[in-house]
């Protein structure tokens, strides 16, 4: 089974969800239905409650499928019940690695393969622009800065191709907030 990690942010906190670990989603729904609603796509609305309410609910997750990190701190490097190890543009204890990133126009995603695992940023095009929809980094690749390098690559691609950017993907959105040099693309 493929390991998937999804990120959702309200700009202050990023919710990290591992769907393959999740076995008690009804607890989230009953505890904070404005944020966790399985009848919606995506089922997590990070704008639905205050950061404090979100953190309090995540701390009640019995399976460990939900965790978080404060955007001001960046992703955590330890993997406890309140935070998760995830990718960041400049992770400590890891060397910068060169990635070969390809634009798979058939699947509408930028992708890179590292150690046999594919990381991707999915997109859709609109007249004069590109919408970044989703970033996916397999668990085996977390903490290597891959998502950050890919986010930089796709934003540079948009700039070089004179495309306006709609960052619907929480990771790309958070990356742009941390890197205001890309604000001209909005």
pLDDT of residue 83: 31
**CATH class name, domain 102-185:** alpha beta
Q: Compute the 3-state secondary structure of the chain and give helix, strand, coil in percent, each to the nearest 5.
A: 25, 25, 50
pLDDT of residue 82: 30
Name which of 85, 83, 14, 89 is nearest 46 in CA terms. 14
pLDDT of residue 79: 33
- Pair 142, 11: CB distance under 8 Å: no
CB count within 10 Å of CB 151 equals 27
Residue ranges per structural domain of the chain: 6-70, 102-185
- Pair 14, 170: CB distance under 8 Å: yes
Q: How does residue 74 score in pLDDT terms, banded at 50, 70 and 90? A: low
Q: pLDDT tens digits, residue range 163-176?
A: 999 999 999 999 99
pLDDT of residue 31: 85
Strand partners, 5: none
* Residues 6-70, CATH architecture: 2-Layer Sandwich (3.30)
Calculate mean pLDDT across residues 77-98: 38
pLDDT at 96 over 60: no
Q: pLDDT tens digits, residue range 120-154?
A: 999 999 999 999 999 999 988 887 888 999 999 99
Q: pLDDT tens digits, residue range 10-60?
A: 878 888 888 777 776 677 778 888 888 877 777 888 888 888 999 998 888
pLDDT of residue 160: 92
Pairwise CA distance, residues 134 & 131, whole Å: 9
Q: pTM of whole model > 0.85?
A: no
* Coil vs helix vs strand at 63: coil
The single residue listed with the structure tokens 């397999």 is 138
The single residue listed with the structure tokens 């390991």 is 3
Helix (H) or strand (E) holding 160: helix 146-160
R_g (Cα) of the chain, nearest Å: 16
Q: How does residue 81 score in pLDDT terms, banded at 50, 70 and 90? A: very low
Portion of the chain with pLDDT greater than 70, in percent: 84
pLDDT at 90 over 50: no
């Amino acid at each position: 089974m493929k390991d998937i990690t999804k990120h959702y942010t309200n700009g202050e906190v990023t919710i990290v969800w591992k769907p393959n670990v999740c076995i008690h989603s009804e607890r989230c729904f009953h505890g904070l239905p404005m944020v966790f609603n399985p009848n919606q796509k995506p089922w997590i609305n990070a704008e639905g409650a205050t950061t404090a309410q979100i953190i309090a609910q995540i701390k009640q997750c019995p399976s460990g499928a939900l965790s978080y990190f404060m955007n001001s701190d960046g992703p955590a490097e330890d993997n406890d019940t309140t935070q998760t190890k995830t990718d960041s543009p400049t992770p400590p204890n890891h060397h910068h690695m060169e990635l070969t990133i390809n634009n798979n126009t058939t699947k509408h995603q930028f992708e890179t393969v590292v150690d046999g695992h594919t990381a991707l940023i999915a997109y859709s095009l609109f007249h004069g622009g590109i919408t970044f929809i989703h970033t996916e980094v397999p668990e085996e690749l977390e903490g290597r800065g891959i998502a950050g390098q890919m986010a930089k690559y796709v934003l540079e691609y948009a700039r070089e191709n004179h495309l306006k950017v709609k960052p619907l993907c929480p990771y790309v959105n958070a990356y742009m907030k941390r890197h205001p040099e890309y604000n001209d693309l909005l």
